[in-house]
Structure 1
Amino acid sequence: MTSLRLPNHDGPCKICHNLVVEVLTKLTDPDIQLEIIERASEACSKMDNYAQECKKIVFHYGPLILFDIEKYLETTDVCAAIHVCKVNQEAGIGATLLADA
């Protein structure tokens, strides 16, 4: 099976940074945050004897985890960390966010 490669004018590094910006945009949306918490809570229902404890953990720690993920993505060049970009190859996510503001 052959894979289809689309022309890529931006390069993987820029695409990765754009993806991180998109994820950050979604994570700051209260409706998306609520949906994530709700889905995690629904997953707890499948844990039989631990469903209630799981839901307590989700509602207690879920918002904190989402906040920490958001801060991590804002302060860390994830694309360089996973070797899609060379360190300092592009302006980084912080500059991208400032440019969009």
Structure 2
Amino acid sequence: MCVDVSVVLPTMNEEEAISVVLPKVREALERMGLSYEIIVVDKSSDRTPEIARSLGAIVIRQGDKGYGDAYITGFKHARGKYIVMGDPDGSYDFSELPKLLEP
């Protein structure tokens, strides 16, 4: 089953930020009326994966090392027509997703 947008987020010990970021991603995509999935590729030793799951994300445990590997892992699982990638550390303003996806 394909969705409109897959959002791929690599995480490593982001338990404080993830609970703020995921609702912003969902809100932006729901406001646009798009079907979506949020894929969290995790290599954490804290509660990040549990928090992400509780907020509706698909959590995949990263097997290898590195930022690039985290994205490649997420891309392999993505079902979206479009893939959005970003850091879930609060440095990206995911409320801007409509501007990215409009074109």
TM-score range, shorter chain: under 0.3
Higher share in strand:
2
Higher share in helix:
1
Higher RCO (CA 8 Å, separation ≥ 6 residues): 2
Length-normalised TM-score, structure 2: 0.27
Length-normalised TM-score, structure 1: 0.28
Structure number, greater radius of gyration: 1
